Structure 1
Amino acid sequence: MPMPNEYQTASQQFDRFLEDAREALDLTTRNQTYTCVQGVFLVFRARLTAAEGLRFANELPAVLRAIFVKDWDIGREPRPFLSRQEMAEEVAHLRQHHNFSPVTVIEDVARALRKHVETKTFDAMLETLPQQAKAYWSVEGHEI
């Protein structure tokens, strides 16, 4: 079996995602963008069980999947979902002295992510998660 294309082109796919996320977030650097993306993923991941998180990760492009699962303590109890504003504040606390997350960081990253996943299977996967998890990834004009 040949190597899957998603692994052969993982770096290029990640670069395209980062550019879309940088534009959505209105940031200037890849480092700023990466911090926002990582923060959005970590805040979301903290609210999922391992089984839920792996279902989510399976729908991500390869590099984003790796970022999502890296260093995950699957033994921790999921935290409760909060308002989007409160969770955006959590995102902003990751490397807070170097974090340029706008208040719309979660929706901005969600909008960029939707350009890089198979929308139908992504939405079907979100239907298997708690309602608040689905809401986390909703964007204006695309409610699940």
Structure 2
Amino acid sequence: MTMPMDLQHASEDFERFLVDARDFSGLATRNQVYTMVQAVLQVFRRRLDVKEAITFANVLPPILRAIFVADWDIDEPRQPFGGRWIMTKEVQALRADHNFAPDTAIKDVARALRRHIDEGALDRTLTLLPEGASEFWYVKP
């Protein structure tokens, strides 16, 4: 069997995703964007159980999937979906001294993500997750 295309081009696809996330957020460097993306994924993950998280991870491109599950403490207490402002502050708290995520971080990452995955598959998957999951990744058309 040949290697799946998404694995063959994972690095290039991830770089394109980072460029979009950078452009949407107005951040200046790859490192700043990476921290923002990692934080957004972790904040979302904290609101899912393991089965739900794996369901979500399966729609992500390979490198984002790896970031989503990396360093996961599955015993960490599950958090409820709350207001966007509360979750944004949580995003900004990851490595706070080196985190430049704007107040629009969740929306910016959602916009970039939707450009780089099958939106239909994402939206179908989000309906299987707890209330608040779809709103987290919602981007106004």
Query: What TM-score do the two structures reach when normalised by structure 2?
Result: 0.97
CA distance in 2, matches of 1:61, 1:88: 23
Partner Cα separation in structure 2 for residue 103 and residue 76 of structure 1: 25
Deviations 1:63-82 (A, max 9, x none): 00000001112233311111
> Once the two structures are superposed, what CA deviation does each residue of 1:56-96 show, in whole Å capped at 9, x if it has no partner?
10000000000000111223331111110010001001111
Please list the CA deviations of residues 3-45 of structure 1 after superposition, one character each: whole Å capped at 9, or x if unmatched: 1111111100100000000001111100000000000000110
> In 2, are the aligned partners of 1:37 and 1:109 still within 8 Å (CA)?
yes
Residue in 2 aligned with 1:23?
A: 23
Q: Which runs of 4+ in 1 moved over 6 A?
A: none
Which residue matches 2:90?
A: 90
Q: Aligned residues, how many?
A: 141
Q: C-alpha distance in 2, partners of 1:76/1:46?
A: 8
AA partner of residue 94 (structure 1): L
For the pair 1:103 / 2:103, whether they are aligned, the reply is yes
Amino acid at match of 1:87: M
TM-score by length of 1: 0.95
Instruction: Name the Cα RMSD after superposition.
Output: 0.8
Residue aligned with 1:131, SS: coil
Q: Which runs of 5+ in 2 are unaligned?
A: none
Give distance in 2, aligned partners of 1:27 and 1:129: 30
Report the equivalent of 2:60: 60
For structure 1, the 5+ residue unaligned runs are: none
Identical pairs, percent = 52
**Whole-angstrom distance in 1 between the partners of 2:117 and 2:74:** 24
